[in-house]
Amino acid sequence: GESVGLHLPTLSVQEGDNSIINCAYSNSASDYFIWYKQESGKGPQFIIDIRSNMDKRQGQRVTVLLNKTVKHLSLQIAATQPGDSAVYFCAEKNSGYALNFGKGTSLLVTP
């Protein structure tokens, strides 16, 4: 079936560097995408979202890019901090009720 997946299971960056987490999706009908951050022992926390009629959206220190041509989504985190260490999930929504999550990328920020 159609699915959402991530290119890299783990990512290690130095504090202060920029991080880029990638996600591929295969459902061309998806019209809404979200990035979530999940820390150990906690539920997913909303970071940023983007609709399919946009190709870029910026938040505080985060930017999401959407390339519908190649069905690719990325999350950019500027000036990565130790508190950014977590697992990051992309999720997509089409016409159904549920969010369809990928497997996640573990981001480790080293001092």
Partner 1 sequence: GAGVSQSPRYKVAKRGQDVALRCDPISGHVSLFWYQQALGQGPEFLTYFQNEAQLDKSGLPSDRFFAERPEGSVSTLKIQRTQQEDSAVYLCASSPHAGGGETQYFGPGTRLLVL
Size of the residue set binding partner 1 (CB under 8 A):
23
Q: 61-80: which residues touch partner 1 (CB under 8 A)?
A: none
* Residue 27 found at the interface with partner 1 (CB under 8 A): no
CB of 79 to partner 1, least distance (A): 25
For residue 65, the minimal CB distance to partner 1 (Å) is 19
Residue 82 burial (CB < 10 Å; 0-12/13-18/19+)?
A: exposed
Q: Which of these, 31, 24, 33, 30, lies nearest to 91 by C-alpha position?
A: 33
In DSSP terms, 4 is beta-bridged to 25
CB 98, min distance to partner 1, A: 4
- Number of Cβ atoms within 10 Å of the Cβ of 105: 21
* Chain residues in the site for partner 1 (CB under 8 A): 4, 32, 34, 36, 41-46, 49, 89, 91, 93, 96-104
